[in-house]
Amino acid sequence: MVKDVFPREWFNNYEKIKVKFHSGYNYPEFDTIRDEICKCLICDLNLAAITLTNHLLEDFLKKMLIYKKVKKENESIFGAFDESTKEYDGITLFNSIEKAFVENIISEEQKDLLHQFRNQFRNPYSHAESKKIFSGLTVGVQEVKLENNKFNVSEYKQEEIIGLPFVHGLVKIEIAKQIAVQYFDLVDEIIRDILKNKKTST
């Protein structure tokens, strides 16, 4: 009955991420975002999932830096995070990654991977940098003109997508469909690894 209501693709998408969907971080400040990303992926809202994964990544690194700086002997949580929040809340993702490495929150391998994410996913999609999203991609086109009541069709050729802004929306959807789940998987793995290390070191 339910399968008649929802698109079949949603059930396929659910199978891809159901483990992560049902396995929380046990940190409500991150689990709400993780939950929403999973729901976007299930419903095939891949551009939204990429943008939210960018947000999760950046927010997570900042929070880890903020938590790391707070002194354990602080008796009250009220005001305990003021200084570290002021220091880290406004820093760039580049600086968050570098600082997280210096503070031993992430490994060198994770640092390199996160910088790849920053250049490949976060900056292009969160900043709408079309040149980075469509770099090297082409599409086959033909131009049709009406001249003297006749249609003249140009020769079929490949054109760079970056020069055809009216197709950007459609192509972004297709690219996002191919990368959204994998991107979230990779970010999720890093987050779980960092949280696991955080628990074993406290």
**Residue 74, pLDDT score:** 59
* Whether the predicted model's global pTM rises above the 0.95 cut: no
Residues in Cβ contact with 81 at an 8 Å cutoff, skipping those fewer than 6 apart? 66, 70
**Cα–chain center distance at 180:** 7
**Residue 1, pLDDT score:** 41
Classify residue 111 as exposed, middle or buried by CB count within 10 Å of its CB (0-12, 13-18, 19+).
Answer: middle
Which residues of the chain form beta strands (DSSP E)?
Answer: 138-141, 144-147, 150-153, 157-160
Residue that is written with structure tokens 């999760």 in the block: 56
**Residue 141, pLDDT score:** 76
**Residue 115, pLDDT score:** 95
For residues 135 and 133, give the distance between their C-alpha atoms in angstroms, rounded to a whole number: 6
Instruction: For residue range 102-112, list pLDDT tens digits in order.
Output: 999 999 999 99
pLDDT band at 2 (very low <50, low <70, confident <90, very high): very low
The pLDDT mean for the chain works out to 88
pLDDT band at 71 (very low <50, low <70, confident <90, very high): low
Residues in Cβ contact with 76 at an 8 Å cutoff, skipping those fewer than 6 apart? none
User: At residue 201, does pLDDT exceed 80?
Assistant: no
**Residue 6, pLDDT score:** 60
**Residue 144, pLDDT score:** 81
Give me the mean pLDDT over the 113-139 stretch: 88
Give me the mean pLDDT over the 139-143 stretch: 79
User: At residue 23, does pLDDT exceed 50?
Assistant: yes
Give me the mean pLDDT over the 123-145 stretch: 84
More confident residue, 129 or 64: 64
